[in-house]
Amino acid sequence: MAVASEAPFHVLAVDDSLIDRKLIERLLKTSSFQVTTVESGSKALEFLGLREDLERPSSATSCQHEIEVNLVITDYCMPEMSGYDLLKKIKESSAFKDIPVVIMSSENVPARINRCLEEGAEEFLLKPVKLSDMNKLRPHILKGKSKEDQQRSNSNNTIDFSTINSGSRNNKRKANEEGLSPERTRPRFSNNSTNSLTVL
């Protein structure tokens, strides 16, 4: 049986600056990511199927793209919708809340950074973004994918308690056949034994 090669992770890059978009696209592609770039938060929501005119973000599952997005990296300062507002919309969506979001900014403002991290951003990168920053993305993607996989398996798996109980009965039967008492796993000492230990 041959192992299928894994498709590259897909990153949605959001920045209103064409130069910054091209830079992040080049860095991501160099790091073996598949990249889609958009110029605004509203375009990102549209790409994800979370248009602003929809009343319920959870209805996005019906218009979700065939291309799975594994991470969103967005500029903080953009017209119309900031990266922070985009982060909030993604985290409010039941369909996309587990997608890791990374915020970029050219301004090192601790209050802004903390606010984004508290809202659910995985990382806050200072511009200009460097190739070494791309190495920080993969662990966030893997963590996001494991959350998705775990939720999928939890929703698909139900526990059959009857098999668990019958399994413990089989262990007791096996212990009885081997001459062991299943209730007694450690040897017991009685006070009537001839060999007793005295502590001085």
- What's the pLDDT tens digit per position in 170-184? 555 555 555 555 555
Nearest to 60 by CA among 47, 70, 41: 47
- What's the pLDDT tens digit per position in 133-160? 999 998 988 886 666 666 656 655 544 4
Chain mean position to CA 37: 22
User: Distance between the two ends of the chain, CA-based, in angstroms?
Assistant: 68
The predicted pLDDT at position 54 comes to 46
- What's the pLDDT tens digit per position in 96-110? 999 999 999 999 999
Report all structural domains of the chain as residue ranges with CATH numbers, in order of start.
10-185 (3.40.50.2300)
The predicted pLDDT at position 56 comes to 46
The predicted pLDDT at position 50 comes to 85
pTM: 0.67
| Residue of 25 and 169 predicted with greater confidence | 25
